Amino acid sequence: MTDLTRLSIAQARDGLAAKDFSATELTGAYLGAIEAANPKLNAYVAVTPELALDMAKASDDRRAGGQAGPLEGIPLGIKDLFGTKGVHTQAASHILDGFKPEYESSVTANLWRDGAVMLGKLNMDEFAMGSSNETSYYGPVINPWRAEGDNKDLVPGGSSGGSASAVAAWLCAGATATDTGGSIRQPAAFTGTVGIKPTYGRCSRWGVVAFASSLDQAGPIARTVEDAALMMTSMSGFDPKDSTSANLPVPDFAAAVERGVRGLTIGVPKEYRMDGMPAEIEKLWAEGLAWLTAEGATVRDISLPHTKYALPAYYIVAPAEASSNLARYDGVKYGLRVSGKDITDMYELTRAAGFGREVRRRLMIGTYVLSAGYYDAYYVRAQQVRTLIKRDFEQVFADGVDAILTPATPSAAFGVADAEMNSDPVKMYLNDIFTVTVNMAGLPGIAVPAGKDEKGLPLGLQLIGRPFDEETLFAAGRVIERNAGLDLSPKVWW
């Protein structure tokens, strides 16, 4: 029998339907793979074998009774940011030590409704703050990819590094992830997987630990465009518990995957051609445009003039919202508590011990830009810039552009504990240069593997779409995926 963990979600779904294997067998194969690989990759912070096998057996029983859901029996990994009832949910932070919620996030509830199986909780940057998955309290996640002829450990990107690493290393069929400034798309590009950040409001944020509430959005990471579409159909939907949830019908995203790009207009923003961009990224971008053109799309140069302000504006808005959201973690009701001489001392000691270095840095930035005398100079101005960024996209789409093609990242994956990156936070933040505009404007964006660098590491392209038009992104992403024709199987060293 084929190694069950190497099957795509679509293939596994078909195999389960044909009774080639059971959900229990499929889940057991993934649990065995996790047991063998996780000590090296550190993708999971909590594995739930008993729960997974119970869910798989219930799935087999439903199928036997003719009640199979769209994701019936598909084993998934869940980012540690999603609340899972009775199961470790700590946002990879020490301050949430021992927290097991009494509720289920809306997104994971949707997945269980459709028959999916939970394998465990996936590692991530602490409170989703990071671009390399090195800020986790549980240590860095390791990318299953390695440069040719080199044994150096590489980062999987962040903050959804555990999700991307687990999918790429066949430790789950797909994974939930979140994206505040690129945290789905950048890890997908670094690991040769597909990741989509849906339009803000497409997936409920209820039950997901908040980082920056006006930017956060849940989405899937999977091995193929079709798999991402299948997962997103289940994850999406209106939720009255989330005031920012869009009350719109959920399309059958998978039905759009093979629709093609004939007649579409693809925009190429001149502002994304950065000084010093690696030649291999430039070449990949040109190849992607050529593939889309060959299949009937029209390519047009466009301008998004406020792009250069996106990163600085993002790093004001996101920390400001984080400063407000993370004020609730004080050691009083749940999580870590460090005793002090009085309640103020307890607050200070708990937060000092509970938050990691990067989270403390961003909280201090956020508190500063919201403080009296600086609010208007920084936060208000950043929100005004955000409006201009959104308007740039609106004008381009109004002018007939259907989607925009850009690089996903400025480079391939870099090394764990890279001295240059870790000594300069700004250099690390620049990893989000191509992705933050999408969050600032609330738009959908997908990262699709499109090539490899000279060392054999995956590189991705990003497609940005109109609000709530993820279907066009899946269709165009599939064209890139098919034309790239990559073998995205990292050599097993773990």
Percent composition of the chain: helix, strand, coil (DSSP 3-state, to 5): 45, 15, 45
The catalytic position among 159, 236, 245, 323 is 159
* Residue written as token pair 């808005």: 317
Helix axes 279-294, 470-484, angle to 10 degrees: 110
Q: Which of 14, 453, 483 shows the shortest CA–CA distance to 190?
A: 453
Beta-carbon contacts of residue 134 (< 8 Å; ≥ 6 apart): 125, 140, 155, 158, 416, 417, 422
Take residue 447 and report the two structure tokens written for it.
């990262």
Confirm if 265 and 298 have CB atoms less than 8 A apart.
yes
Q: Which of 194, 240, 218, 250 shows the shortest CA–CA distance to 10?
A: 194
The catalytic position among 22, 59, 79, 236 is 79
What's the CA gap between 449 and 406, in Å, rounded?
12
The catalytic position among 93, 160, 163, 183 is 183
Whether residue 79 lies in the annotated active site: yes
Beta-carbon contacts of residue 23 (< 8 Å; ≥ 6 apart): 16, 56, 57, 59, 60, 63, 72, 73, 75, 117
Helices (H) and strands (E) in the chain, counts: 16, 11
What's the CA gap between 405 and 269, in Å, rounded?
8
SS3 sequence of 191-210: HCCEEEECCCCCCCCCCECC
* Residue written as token pair 């066009």: 472
Residues that are catalytic: 79, 159, 183
